[in-house]
Amino acid sequence: MNLALGGLTDVFNNSGFTDPTAVVDLLEDYEEEINNVIPFIRERGVFTGVTSKELHTEYQLWCINSTLQPYGIRKFNQEIRNRTNLGLEVEKVDKISTQVWR
């Protein structure tokens, strides 16, 4: 009984159950396997100042070279937003309004 109450106290103190490190690592590996934007971001590095279209084209070529199926530009942009602190801003590039990662 004391063991159960001690465990319940831990759950309340931690604001929920804690995930074992092995489970967290496996989930991260799985997410990377099903989402090819993650390794692209890791390999590509910083891309501030690049247009959305340019980055997506680079990603498509990277996918072809890696024998992976690329996401469409909307899904790709959403993944970039979700996994970085960047957003798209409309800027004039060669007198044409375009979206640039900032």
For residues 2 and 51, which has the higher predicted lDDT (pLDDT)?
51
SS3 of residue 81 by DSSP:
helix
**What tokens does 4 get?**
């159960």
14 in Cβ contact with 48 (< 8 Å) = no
Domain spanning 19-101 has what CATH number? 1.10.10
Can you give the pLDDT at residue 70?
98
Can you give the pLDDT at residue 85?
92
Can you give the pLDDT at residue 18?
81
Q: What is the pTM of this model?
A: 0.77
Q: How far is CA 18 from CA 12, 27, 75, 91, 99, in A?
A: 11, 14, 31, 44, 40
The domain spans of the chain are: 19-101
Give residue-wise pLDDT tens across range 64-98. 999 999 999 999 999 999 999 999 999 998 899 99
Give Cα 87 to chain centroid, integer Å.
13
